[in-house]
Amino acid sequence: MSNNTKTDFFIYALIFLSIAPLFSMQLAIWLIPITTLLFFFNLSNLKKRKLKWDFGLLIPVFFFLILIVGLLYTSNFNRGVKIVERFLSFAILPLIFGFASPLINFNRIKIIKAYIYANAIFYIIAFFYAFYRQMNFTLTKGGSINWYYFYRYDFLIFFHQHPTYVSMMVLIALSFVIFLKSELHFSKQKNTLLFILFSLGILFTGSRQGYMQYFLIITLFFVLKIKNAPYKQKYILNYLGGLILFILMSFNVPIIKERILITLGADRYYKFYYNKHISSTDNPEKQGRLLLWQDAWQLIKDKPFLGQGTGGDNDALIAQYKKNGHTYLFQMGYNAHNSYIQWLLSGGIVLLTVWLSMLFTIFYKGIKTRDPVLWSFFIILFFTGFTETFYRVQGIIFIAFFYSFLLILENDNKKLSA
C-alpha cells in the first residue's frame, strides 16, 4: 500500500470520527481503534515530515490519567472503570493529532467541509422525518400541527440524540461556515442556505444552552464584521433584524414559546413538551438543579482536594439526596448536571484544575491567533459545562476531537474572514 493511500485512509477515518458522534454513538466508539490503527500505519510516512507539536495537547491526557488515579480510592470501582473507558479518546486523540499534525493540517479544509456537510445532512433528515410523521399524523388522525414532532427529543428521534450535545456539534459547523468563509470557497447562496439550515436546526433542537451560545457566536461574528467594515450601519441593522426574526420565530412556534416562558419563570402549563399537562409551579425541574448543586457542594466541602474518586461521585451524591430528603432527585439518580461540580465531586480540585487548564488553553490560543472558531469552541464548552456533565460518549469524543483538531491547525494563513 502506497504512502498516499495510507494517508487517505487515515484522513477518511478522521472525517468519519468527526461526524460519527452526531449520527451514532456506537460508530464513534468503534472508530477510535480504527483511527488509531490507521495512524500507526502512517508512522513511516510521518517520520519524513516536520512535526509541529503543541504541548496543550497533553492536558486531556493528564485529565485521563487523573481519572485512572481516582480508581485507587473510589467506592464504585466498576462504574469508575466504565468512566475511564469513556474518556479513552482524551488519551488517544490528542496524541494522534499531535504526531500526525502535518497530515491533518494539509487536509484540514477537507475535514472541515465534510463536517459541515454531515451536519447539513443530519438536519435535512431530521426535518424530513418530522414532516413525514406530521403527514402521517394528519392523514390518520386528522389533527393539526403536532409541534412535538418538531422539537427537542422527538425532532431528533431518528438518530436518538440529546438536544444539548447536538447543539454543541452544529454550533461548531456554524462557526466554520461564518468564520472561514474565504477558506471554504462556498458560493454566497450555499453559505446562506447552510446558515439558515443550521439556525433553524438550533431553533428546533430546543437546547436553551444552544440558544444562548448561538446568540453569543452570532454576536461575535457581527462585532468582528462591524469592527472591520467601512459601512457599519448595514451590519448593525442586519444583526438587529436577524435577532428580531429569531425571537419572532421562537414565539410563533407554541412549543418553543412555552419552554422559553417557563424557563423565564412564567407560571404556565406544559401543553406540548410533556405527554400530560404539568404545571410549572409543581414541576421539580424548576428548582431541581439548584437543589442538587447544594447537595453536591456539601460533599465537596468534605473532600475538596481529591474528591470521591472516579465512579464514586454519583453514589455519594444519590446518598446525599436521600439524606436531605430530596425524593425526586433520589429516585431519578441525577448526576450534578454541571461539569465543574462533577469534576470536583469526582477528582476534587486536582481534576477541576486540569479541566480549567483545557478551557484556558482554548481561550488563550484563540486570543493569540485571533481565531474566532477557537473562541466559539470556548463559548460552547465553557457555558455548556454549567448545565451538563460531560459523561456522554458522543460529547467526550466531540470534545477530544475538536480540542485536538483546532489546536494543531496552522494559523499562518488564517485571517478573520467574517
d(C-alpha 384, C-alpha 102), whole Å: 31
- C-alpha cell of residue 322: 436521600
Write the burial class of residue 266 (CB in 10 Å: 0-12 exposed, 13-18 middle, 19+ buried): exposed
Write the burial class of residue 126 (CB in 10 Å: 0-12 exposed, 13-18 middle, 19+ buried): buried
d(C-alpha 181, C-alpha 59), whole Å: 31
Which pTM does this prediction carry? 0.90
Please state the domain count of the chain. 2
Domain membership of residue 2 (yes or no) is no
Bridge partners of 269, per DSSP, are 279
Do 220 and 133 sit in the same domain of this protein? yes
Instruction: Indicate the residue among 237, 252, 267 that finishes a domain.
Output: 252
Do 352 and 244 sit in the same domain of this protein? no
Do 75 and 143 sit in the same domain of this protein? no
Domain membership of residue 31 (yes or no) is no
Domain membership of residue 19 (yes or no) is no
Q: Which domain holds residue 387?
A: 55-106+284-418
Q: How many CA atoms lie within 13 A of 171 on its CB side?
A: 35
Do 119 and 247 sit in the same domain of this protein? yes
Domain membership of residue 9 (yes or no) is no
User: Going residue by residue through the chain (418 aa), what tens digit of pLDDT does each one get?
Assistant: 677 888 999 999 999 999 999 999 899 999 999 999 999 999 888 877 777 678 899 999 999 999 999 999 999 999 999 999 999 999 999 999 999 998 898 899 999 999 999 999 999 999 999 999 999 888 887 767 888 888 888 999 999 999 999 999 999 999 999 999 989 999 999 999 999 999 999 999 989 899 999 999 999 998 888 877 777 777 788 788 878 888 887 777 777 877 777 776 665 555 554 444 444 444 444 456 778 888 889 999 999 999 999 999 999 989 888 888 877 777 777 888 899 999 999 999 999 999 999 999 999 999 999 999 999 999 999 999 999 999 889 899 999 999 999 998 854 444 433 3
Instruction: Please check whether residue 214 is in contact with residue 202, taking contact to mean a CB–CB distance below 8 angstroms.
Output: yes
186 phi/psi in degrees, rounded to 5: -75, 150
Domain membership of residue 289 (yes or no) is yes
Do 304 and 353 sit in the same domain of this protein? yes
Which residue from 62, 78, 80 is spatially nearest to 70, judged by alpha carbons?
A: 80
